[in-house]
Copies of this chain bind each other. A is one copy, B any other.
Amino acid sequence: MRPPFDPTLYLVTDTGLCRPRSVADVVRAVVAAGVTAVQVRDKHASRRELLALTRTVQAAVVDHPGVAVVVNDAVDVAVLADADGVHVGQDDLPVEEVRALIGADRHLGLSVSSAAELDAALALPPGTVDLVGLSPVWETPVKPDAGPALGPARAATLATAARAGGLIAVAIGGITLDRAAEAAATGVDGICVVAAVCPEADPAGAARRLREEIVRGRLAQVAR
């Protein structure tokens, strides 16, 4: 039904943090260095600009067919760009409606920030949502309007429940290089990064180090 989606190291783009480089330039560098999926997010862009931005990101990953490109929030843009999927928040269009618009062959992610929101996601008809973003694990300057931090222990509990319900679970919010291993050790399928990659002088190097930390965190989890 849906193409495979590898959430191991999931980059969420921030146009401002990528400057002076373009988002596409940063994406091109990091997908060759271990980023497995890209979510195009730009809350300041018009839909017209977001469509153009999405297409530049799609072109940047064209040599990496396993790397999914997902559009944040803008369902119309995702369909027009023929993106691999959409990621929405609790205030965006309801996920049942989004699923109706994007059809069965696209990935759909949803941010959840509490057990109640996760329970609601798990109660949806199977196949509505593919992934939940546990958000925010830590406080983040990138999204100051995000709710209170879950912390890694609650994120681990939610990740277990999400995965038991057949959903992909990723952790997002405040995941720096220093915290990447701890985030991965919660048992999520992957971690989302924004500020740990976009503003880095060497984003490819940052992606490689993050991948190493993910391995370290997963090993630590298994060893527990």
Chain A interface (Cβ < 8 Å from any Cβ of B): 46-48, 51, 73-77, 79-80, 91-94, 97, 100-101
Contacts and interface: CB of A to CB of B under 8 A. Distances in A.
Nearest to A90: B48
Quick one: which of A46, A51, A76, A97 has the most chain B CB within 10 A? Answer: A76
| Copies in the assembly, this chain | 2
B91 A48 contact: yes
A48 B101 contact: no
Nearest to A48: B93
Given A75-B76, A76-B74, A76-B75, A46 B92 contact: yes
Contacts of A79: 76, 101
Nearest to A81: B97
A51 B93 contact: yes
Quick one: which of A79, A93, A100 has the most chain B CB within 10 A? Answer: A93
Contacts of A75: 47, 76
A113 B93 CA distance: 31
Nearest to A73: B47
A97 B81 CA distance: 10
A80 B92 contact: no
Nearest to A49: B91
B51 A80 contact: no
A91 B47 CA distance: 8
A91 B77 CA distance: 14
A159 B74 CA distance: 33
Given A77-B93, A79-B101, A80-B93, 11 more contacts: A46-B91, A46-B92, A47-B73, A47-B93, A48-B91, A51-B94, A75-B76, A76-B79, A76-B93, A76-B101, A80-B97
Nearest to A78: B76
Contact of A94 (B48, B74, B94, B100): B48
